[in-house]
Chain A
Amino acid sequence: MSTAQTTLGEKLQSLPKPALYLVLILLTSVPLLVKITIPNKEAKPSANFYTMVTGTVDPTFPAFTTSIDATKPVLIQTDWTTSTRGESAGQFKSLMRILMIRNIKFCFYSAGDPQAPQVALDYISDINEERVKAGLRPYERWKDYVDAGYFPGAEAICNAIQNNFGTAFKNVQDQDAEGAESSVFESPVLKGVRKVSDFSVMILVTGSNTSNIAIERIKSVPMIMMVTGVMGPETQVYYDSGQLKGLVTGLKGLYDMESLMDKDPQFKGKVTTLDNGAKYYPTLHIALLLMIIAIIIGNVGMFMTKKRAA
């Protein structure tokens, strides 16, 4: 019995999956052992987002100077859980650090996942621990921020927020300073807020298409978003049309935010500036490089086989 000999081209086209997986694991583990700093040029949508929430104008994009009124609260729709934490957790943490340093009050809710409010609370708790270690006061629930919980119907709540924020959140309660459940409108955060336009900005941190649902319905307040890389292309459409004033997309967007924070005296030395983005960006580089090499190997193999057959 004779077995047909496998050519190099065929071999290159059929590398075993376990070998690919092993190489991926080994290479993406490198940044865990070695600190790699990646040079970065911030993207314009990220810089616009940054200017909007911090008031600091990036010299690369001096034309964009709009920023939020720090005396007004911010409305946050947080629709991510740990399934997308590689990108979303870092984005959320950097946002929290910025709002807390600037003493901006915020109200958050979720219209995408029942776990999301608890996940957000956990990360706020982490940032508070970090602040206490840095000698800063912890952000207090009720006084500085309120958790409005989860709304199962994204379309319904977004419509209701646009129609009348006061009635949409009328029955929403959170723990007050004494631990009793009280209307969120009694908190210092939402004091005087009746319409969605009473917020300085609405920020969505999401890994799902609730971003589209929100932007299609809520029009009376400037909106900015932090989305995962997968959500980037479809969200970019709204940024290009001017409906979004800023957009942080995926790990690159997060690294942009952290790089900008690291250059900004408002944050440098006061809070952690380079965190998840700086940690994971080298890993993304290696994974993407490996993907390019794998694609090249597959195509070289295909051409070698074709050439031999011809």
Chain B
Amino acid sequence: MMDLLAQATPPSDSSPFWSAPNGSSHLVIGIGAALLLGIGLIFLLLQAPVRSRRWIVALFTFLAGGYYVLYFFWPTAIDRQPNDLPRNPMEGVTFWISDAFPIVSTFTNVLAGFLLGLGIYSLWRVHGRRIVKQQKDWFFSFVLLASSVMMAFIGYADWHSRQGLNGPLLANKANWHPINYAFDFFFEGGLQQMDAAMFSIIAFFILSAAYRAFRIRSVEATVLLATALVVILSLMGVITNAWQSGINHLGGPDAFVQNFSLDTIRTWLTNTVQTPSIRGIDFGIGIGSLAMGLRLWLSLERTGS
């Protein structure tokens, strides 16, 4: 029982069960079988009576979460060597938890990967419907879907061209094929630039928001504004240098006035005010997450049906 999951660790031969070589029939068959098995399991779950479905999901949630609880709380082995054997049941559990970790972590990564698939499915569903029904701004939906198909196609073609003996040669742009230029044009020249352009718009919002919202209407607002001003000014080399020169004129390196250099005030604010505040907030978030995690693990959350 103990090494149930540990047995799933890929053996060290050339064609392990869990990781078939790229492009092999073994891999294609494995993906097909896993897909069919998954669909079959979902179908079986849907056939289960509605009341028992909740319990099945709760059971799997408990088992999955239970592993991480054990991983966190169970004592870990100190300086375990590869050929070490457990000397008692307690150590047996320790070894099992440790050995099973990569497998559980792979499951977690695969599940997280499904989120990408779910996102793509949702995107296609929403925008596909808008195009079919020719709803308002359907053309933008068309551009979105056409772009995603094109990017996927070009991306795959680029990746494919880099496989094999010619792959390393393509590190040099002089050896590029048209498809590599196409990928560079769309990924670097298009997607990445638009991404950066979208983010740069924030500068306008920040300026506009600071102008409208930063008003000295109360004591708290004044403190906030003064603090923000010190931090902003301390980021400006010209100001900090000029300020420091002024301070140096007023007193030597050990003078009391040196406590009022922008850097010193900023450091004091960061270490004495900001860091403890963030620690407090993080602590609160941690406790909240723990409570939320417990509710999810024990399936105490309402399903929202």
Contact = CB atoms under 8 A, between A and B. Distances in A.
Contacts of B101: 159-160, 163-164, 167
A292 B102 contact: no
B167 interface: yes
A30 interface: no
B18 A171 contact: yes
A170 B229 CA distance: 50
Contacts of A177: 168
Contacts of A81: 192, 195
Contacts of B105: 153, 156-157, 159-160, 163, 168
Contact of A152 (B112, B199, B233): B112
A225 to B, nearest CB: 15
Nearest to B262: A41
Interface string B1-31: 0000000011000000011011000000000
A289 to B, nearest CB: 7
Interface stretch (B125-133, B200-208, B249-257): B200-208
A82 B215 contact: no
B171 interface: yes
A136 interface: no
A40 to B, nearest CB: 5
B47 interface: no
Contacts of B168: 140-142, 175, 177-179
A198 interface: no
A146 B146 CA distance: 33
A65 interface: no
A38 B207 contact: no
A295 B196 contact: no
Nearest to B286: A216
B111 interface: yes
Contacts of A114: 116
Contacts of A298: 211-212, 214-215
Interface in A266-292: 281, 284-285, 287-292
Interface in B78-122: 98, 101-102, 104-106, 108-109, 111-113, 115-116
Nearest to A139: B171
B52 interface: no
A15 B212 CA distance: 9
Given A41-B263, A156-B112, A291-B206, 14 more contacts: A28-B203, A115-B192, A128-B171, A171-B18, A178-B165, A179-B167, A181-B163, A233-B274, A233-B278, A234-B282, A237-B275, A285-B237, A295-B225, A298-B212
Interface of B: 9-10, 18-19, 21-22, 71, 98, 101-102, 104-106, 108-109, 111-113, 115-116, 162-168, 171, 173, 187-188, 191-193, 195-196, 198-200, 203-204, 206-208, 210-212, 214-217, 225, 229, 232-233, 235-238, 240-241, 244, 263, 270-271, 274-275, 278-279, 282
25 contacts: A15-B211, A21-B204, A21-B208, A40-B237, A82-B195, A83-B199, A114-B116, A152-B115, A153-B109, A156-B105, A156-B108, A156-B109, A157-B105, A159-B71, A163-B101, A163-B102, A175-B162, A175-B163, A179-B165, A240-B271, A255-B237, A281-B237, A284-B235, A288-B232, A299-B215
Interface of A: 15, 17, 20-21, 24, 28, 38-41, 81-86, 114-115, 118-119, 122, 125, 128-129, 138, 140-142, 151-153, 155-157, 159-160, 163-164, 167-168, 170-171, 173, 175, 177-181, 233-234, 236-237, 240, 252, 255, 281, 284-285, 287-292, 294-295, 297-299, 302
